[in-house]
Structure 1
Amino acid sequence: MVEIDYSLYLVTNRKNKSKEEFLKIVEESILGGVTVVQLREKETSTGEFYKIALKLKKLTSKYNIPLIINDRLDIALAIDADGVHVGQSDMPANIVRNMIGKDKILGVSAAKVSDAIEAEKNGADYIGSGAIFPTQTKNANCINLSYLKEIIDSVNIPVVAIGGLSQENISSLSGVNLKGISVVSAIMDSENPKKSSKNLKKEFESL
């Protein structure tokens, strides 16, 4: 598999946005430095999810940016997405790996060392770990930095920090061997997604 740059990983939130506005935000974020896009649609019908995924795949392919689909393996396969991301309560990682094959990207959320080790064993390419800070987009318990380091040290695959990350608090991750940061609101709710992406990337690269 081609090595993936996880440094600035955008998880989408399309709430209260038109399709055009949504796609514009994602495009601006890519131009600002986003390296991976994950499409997350928790409250959308399958038909609608498929349509927006198809449009987003066209956009990310234009810029050669990997498109990961959150949870929905069927959508990922239908649009030939670059990968799938699953949580601990979604379809088991080893089953997903068997279904998408060895060349697609598989991400797994893990907030425990044991879950991270299991994910790697089951074929994950990277781990999304957090929440680092409280977040409005997902109800998740926070983990401290020393435990995040334990998770990173327990696996041989990249770990991306998730949860409540913004330009103001990324510096607190200094000294942690992360391969990337995952953000939602810091870009999706920004008045200037391109500028916000540039600033977030700069903050991460200075860790």
Structure 2
Amino acid sequence: MSPDYRLYLVTDERLSDEALCHVVTQAVEGGVTMVQLREKQGKLRRFIQRGQLLKTILAGTEVPLIINDRVDVALAINADGVHLGQSDMPAEMARELLGQDKLLGLTVESMAQLEQAQSLPVDYLGISTVFATPTKTDTCFEWGIAGLELAQSCSRLPLVAIGGIDLANIEQVKATGVAGIALVSAICGAAEPRLAARELLARI
């Protein structure tokens, strides 16, 4: 069965363990189809512990757990895949370590990177950043809707859009034909993540 990228939750590392578990549990109940654990600043042991917490929550839900950046963490907890950035381990090496049965995603931040990625052993591409957002402070390129449409027309790989997407613009983003939409604040920052996920999913 091919992965369902439609509503892709990327976690906010500022959440406590308790809040993280609450958000992910509710978001999955609301219809989130994929969860990525992002821990940019934390220590390795904490990353693994939080990964194990989410693995327990997602057991039996058929929602894949993707680990951001760290192939070693994904292997340690037997996660469903890894999402790499441009400065992380090369995709070819990550695929060799992970094997063929794990999902592998890669963020692309320009048309040149998008074109280069077409020949890499990855399952999907994260298109970042669609709209400027406070959760991503190192934005070097803003795709916008026109950029997304161009990327979609040039890629053989499924695209997942991320950055500044919320209820106000999610339908416009989905209309470009992308396979999925990744969100942080729109779910992690919601008073009721379950309802937020449900409403977002209804728009796509």
Q: Same fold (TM over 0.5)?
A: yes
The list of structure 1 runs, each at least 4 consecutive aligned residues, that deviate by more than 3 angstroms after superposition, is none
Q: Deviations over 1:15-38 (max 9, x none)?
A: 1x3312210110100000100000
Q: Greater shift after overlay, 64-73 or 112-121?
A: 112-121
Provide the residue aligned with 1:154 in structure 2: 154
Provide the residue aligned with 2:9 in structure 1: 10
Q: What aligned pairs does 1:103-142 form with structure 2 within 5 A after superposition?
A: 103-139=101-137, 140=139, 141-142=141-142
Mapped to 1, the partners of 2:18 and 2:152 lie a distance apart of 38
Match of 2:168, as an amino acid? E
SS of the residue aligned with 1:121? coil
SS of the residue aligned with 1:62? coil
Cα pair 1:130 1:161 within 8 Å, conserved: yes
SS of the residue aligned with 2:86? coil
Provide the residue aligned with 1:199 in structure 2: 199
SS of the residue aligned with 2:72? helix
Match of 2:160, as an amino acid? V
Shift of the alpha carbon at 1:164? 0.7
Mapped to 2, the partners of 1:91 and 1:85 lie a distance apart of 10
| Closer, same or farther: CA 184–94 of 1 in aligned 2, 3 Å | same
Number of residue-to-residue matches in the alignment: 202
Cα pair 2:34 2:63 within 8 Å, conserved: yes
Match of 2:65, as an amino acid? L
Aligned: 1:166 with 2:170: no
Shift of the alpha carbon at 1:174? 5.2
Mapped to 2, the partners of 1:18 and 1:138 lie a distance apart of 19
Shift of the alpha carbon at 1:130? 2.3
Q: Deviations over 1:142-174 (max 9, x none)?
A: 112222222122222210110011111213225
Match of 2:39, as an amino acid? E
Q: What aligned pairs does 1:73-112 form with structure 2 within 5 A after superposition?
A: 73-112=71-110
CA RMSD of aligned residues (A): 1.3
Mapped to 1, the partners of 2:152 and 2:91 lie a distance apart of 18
Consecutive unaligned residues of structure 1, counting only runs of 5 or more, are: none
Shift of the alpha carbon at 1:119? 2.2
Consecutive unaligned residues of structure 2, counting only runs of 5 or more, are: none
Shift of the alpha carbon at 1:76? 0.4
Mapped to 2, the partners of 1:61 and 1:149 lie a distance apart of 35
Cα pair 1:33 1:201 within 8 Å, conserved: yes
Q: Greater shift after overlay, 28-37 or 169-178?
A: 169-178
